[in-house]
Chains A and B, each alone.
Chain A
Amino acid sequence: MDKNHLQHQLDMKRSLLDQGYLDEQFIQLEELEDDDNPNFVEEMVTTFYANSARLLQNIEQALGSRPIDFTKLDNYMHQFKGSSSSIGATRVQKECTLFMEYCEAANAEGCIRTFRQVKQEHASLKTKLEDYFKLARQGGPSAGGQAGR
């Protein structure tokens, strides 16, 4: 495997961690990778994004309805937050927490505003992870796994 490549991958990961996009959870996931599941993390992230898109849509709809059902919103966001936390999406989680606080306060405007941020973080992380995995794949068969260790 290309050492530079691996290094590059590691650096990228380090940067994501430092910037708070990802946290320890992500590292743990990478550690779970083994020969049987060499692309486990990537698969998980893909699953996450597929599932979270649906959740976000639910939230979007709930936000659009009048009157706003804050309890429902809270539930949806709770699910979304849990899901995000499972892959270590820290920034996304933070926005989720903020959103839920607004829900509790029944602050529609705050919710709408925060939701935009949630989506933003969600999308931006997606891009970064895509780059990361691309790099990992290019690095060699077990580049991804190794990069995690």
Chain B
Amino acid sequence: MNPSNGKGSIATASSSGAWKVGDVVPDQFPAGLRVLVVDDDPTCLVILEKMLRACLYAVTKCNRAEIALSLLRENKNGFDIVISDVHMPDMDGFKLLEHIGLEMDLPVIMMSADDEKNVVMKGVTHGACDYLIKPVRIEALKNIWQHVVRKRKNEWKELDQSGSLEDGDRQQKPSDEVEYSSSANEGNWKSSKKRKDEEEDIEDRDDTSTLKKPRVVWSVELHQQFVAAVNQLGIDKAVPKKILELMNVPGLTRENVASHLQKYRLYLRRLSGVSQHHSSLNNSFISAQEATFGSMSSLNGLDLQTLAVTGQLPAQSLATLQAAGLGRPTAKSGIPMPLVDQRNLFSFENPKPRFGEGQQQHLSSSKPVNLLHGIPTTMEPKQLANLHQSAQPLGNMNVQVNAHGGHSSSLLMQMGQTQSRGQILNESAGSHVPRLPSSVGHPAISNGIAGGVIGINGIGDNSRGIGYNQVRPTSSMLSFPMNHTSELASNSFPLGSTPGISNITPKGAFQDEINSEIKGSTGFGASYDIFNDLHQQKSQNWELHNVGLQFSASQNANRLQGNLDISPSVLVRQGYSSSQTSGQNRNVSDIGRAVFSGVESTQQGNTQIIGQQLNNFLVDNSVRVKAESIPDAGSQSILFPENNFGQEDLMSALLKQQQGGIAPAESEFDLDGYSIDNIPV
């Protein structure tokens, strides 16, 4: 469907985020508010469209949830609000709600003829900003703009606090995706808090034009600096103020650092808690892949599946990844291994830039990359670059997950974190990406990621498109066995051969994955998409890497189970796309961010938040990495466009990785999509 902008053309401009920090609402507002309405009933759909038009909104109607999601993904900043029916044949309205929340962070209004309290309550718990009973009257629709304003205001508020609002309008742009994704993810899950964080990251944002709120992009370098500062102070004593001082980055505010730190901490916590969760996670996601959205663990499994499904990931890879990610051969038992390793990865990989983080910045520029919080990100860009290059296969794999190039890296990165990340990132330009902090842990991570990625790739086949559902439950692969640290260093990291996952070429494909991953339950499917995209994109291993990373990351994030949760992947994806578009740097960060956001958002359950964090980080990191490497993403388009690119690369990377011994064991990762490896430590 084509966005009906008839009436809203004016408003489009205004609604597209021209809002500045100051939250000035355009005069014509709410006219031109871009609404996406989803309902399988044709009568209702047309009537709603008519009513919304009568309210002077720019309406796009859609009768399938899947289509709606792809529309949203392709057009990250194309809509202001979504109205969806609860009962739909192809996808449950609540699931769609979750996806949107994670990936795009848009306000969603649910509607149904069912006015039973428990259903309405479900809407609330899933994050709907309103619930309308059918038949919907025009009066009810006239005021929906309030939800948009409210959300924006909250975001702005956060930005304001950080004082770095700088470009309120920056967002407009290409980075829209990034921001969007990141914010989307963020907003939803943890409660807009996370969103804040991301928004505060303005740092490497190339163009925040599309984004409505200025976001600090936690590029790899920035993240590295952050991690260095944190390490210097000691994680326990690291307070934003001191970190800020140590970092000494102009334009960065205490709030930016604070939110990033928060994420980082979660990430670290997740890493350490991952092992415990792993087992449970694994199981959960393996079996529960489709599990509820919130169950991140399932995501991991799913991610892999999706990856695999997409065809990118060869069945065996998938299996391997799964096993790897899950940490267990049967992908059932939790992946204690991976978790543990992950932790190691993170911890020692400090130097390795947290891929996720660095990337996140790029990717999600808007969202603080904090993914890597815990990860000793000292990602070194160079490392990333190296990784990227060498780890091509890995990168690809990962990237795929990341969907946009950036993602995969992040995933991988996350896994391996630091090392690979840098590598992965490096690929493209080293500009952003280098984040892969992976230096050390990379090897292992890569593997994990690779494994995960592979799985993801599988899913991501380019052709796939956003097929979320493709994810096979078995794919727990995503869980990238983060443990692979050792492996990463050398080979496993598909990303670019360098231990880091620099290859994350999350090109657009990745983004898709991420998005899907983020979704959470369907996340798996989502990640799948990301992978696809990534593959398609091309690219270089990076993509694979990213993908893997992302995937697991995101999955994990989503799953919350403790695994990385898909969120990361989601984030990655998001970041990814953005990064891709803006060019390398951006991509990476975007993806990372996306992943991160995804992770965050998926966190809904929050318990898994930690895992998510990781994922996020990973995702972001991976994504970031990719972004750099995948120049092709070049398109500024937002996340998605690149998918094609990443996917293929990712897949190959993944595959290679697998062969290369990356050992898809990513199972350790278990990151739902987020491949812990990516953890941009």
Contact = CB atoms under 8 A, between A and B. Distances in A.
Interface stretch (A2-10, A74-82, A132-140): A74-82
Contacts of A78: 87, 113-114
A25 interface: yes
A24 B46 CA distance: 18
Interface stretch (A11-19, A44-52, A105-113, A141-149): A44-52
B46 A44 contact: yes
A47 B46 contact: yes
B87 A75 contact: yes
A32 B44 contact: no
Interface stretch (A59-67, A85-93, A115-123): A85-93
Given A25-B135, A75-B87, A88-B135, A82 B50 contact: no
A40 B135 contact: no
B112 interface: yes
A37 interface: yes
B50 A40 contact: yes
Given A32-B50, A32-B54, A75-B87, A82 B42 contact: no
Nearest to B88: A79
Nearest to B112: A82
A57 interface: no
B235 interface: no
B239 interface: no
Given A28-B138, A47-B42, A86 B47 contact: yes
Given A44-B46, A47-B43, A82 B113 contact: yes
A43 to B, nearest CB: 8
A32 B138 contact: yes
A31 B138 CA distance: 10
B10 interface: no
Contacts of B135: 25, 82, 85-86, 88
Interface string B92-123: 00000000000000000000111000000000
Contact of B43 (A28, A32, A75, A83): A83
Interface residues of B, number: 20
Contacts, number: 59
A29 B47 contact: yes
Contacts of B85: 82
A81 B50 CA distance: 20
Contacts of A43: 46
A86 B137 contact: no
B245 interface: no
Contacts of B54: 32
Interface residues of A, number: 24
B134 interface: yes
A86 B44 contact: yes
Interface in B129-170: 134-138
Contacts of B41: 51, 79, 82-83, 86
A79 B87 contact: yes
B124 interface: no
A32 B42 contact: no
Among A24, A28, A82, residue most surrounded by chain B Cβ atoms (within 10 Å):
A82
A119 to B, nearest CB: 18
Nearest to B39: A82
A29 B570 CA distance: 41
A24 B138 CA distance: 11
A85 B42 contact: no
A41 B112 CA distance: 21
A31 B42 CA distance: 20
Contacts of B87: 75, 78-79, 82
Contacts of A37: 50
Nearest to B111: A82
A43 B43 CA distance: 9
Given A25-B137, A32-B138, A83 B50 contact: no
B65 to A, nearest CB: 15
A34 B548 CA distance: 53
Contacts of A25: 135, 137
A129 to B, nearest CB: 13
Contacts of A47: 42-43, 46
Nearest to B135: A85
Given A44-B43, A78-B113, A78-B114, A85 B134 contact: yes
B64 to A, nearest CB: 14
B238 interface: no
A82 B47 contact: no
A11 to B, nearest CB: 24
B51 interface: yes
Contacts of B47: 29, 32, 44, 86-87
Contacts of B46: 43-44, 47
Given A37-B50, A85-B113, A51 B137 contact: no
- Which one of A25, A37, A81, A83 has the highest number of Cβ atoms from chain B below 10 Å of its Cβ? A83
A73 B487 CA distance: 54
Contacts of B114: 78
A71 to B, nearest CB: 12
B58 to A, nearest CB: 16
A81 B138 contact: no
Q: Which of A24, A78, A86, A88 has the most CB of B within 10 A?
A: A86
B43 A81 contact: no
A88 B41 CA distance: 15
Contacts of A87: 43, 47
A102 B44 CA distance: 25
A64 B321 CA distance: 47
B35 to A, nearest CB: 16
9 residue pairs, one from A and one from B, having the closest CB atoms: A82-B113, A85-B135, A48-B43, A86-B44, A25-B135, A83-B41, A32-B50, A82-B134, A81-B113
Given A44-B47, A52-B43, A82-B85, 16 more contacts: A31-B138, A32-B50, A32-B138, A40-B50, A44-B43, A44-B46, A47-B46, A79-B87, A81-B113, A82-B44, A82-B112, A82-B113, A83-B44, A86-B134, A87-B43, A87-B47
24 contacts: A28-B51, A28-B137, A29-B47, A44-B46, A44-B47, A47-B42, A47-B43, A47-B46, A48-B43, A75-B87, A78-B113, A78-B114, A79-B40, A79-B41, A81-B113, A82-B85, A82-B87, A82-B113, A83-B41, A83-B44, A85-B135, A86-B43, A86-B134, A87-B47
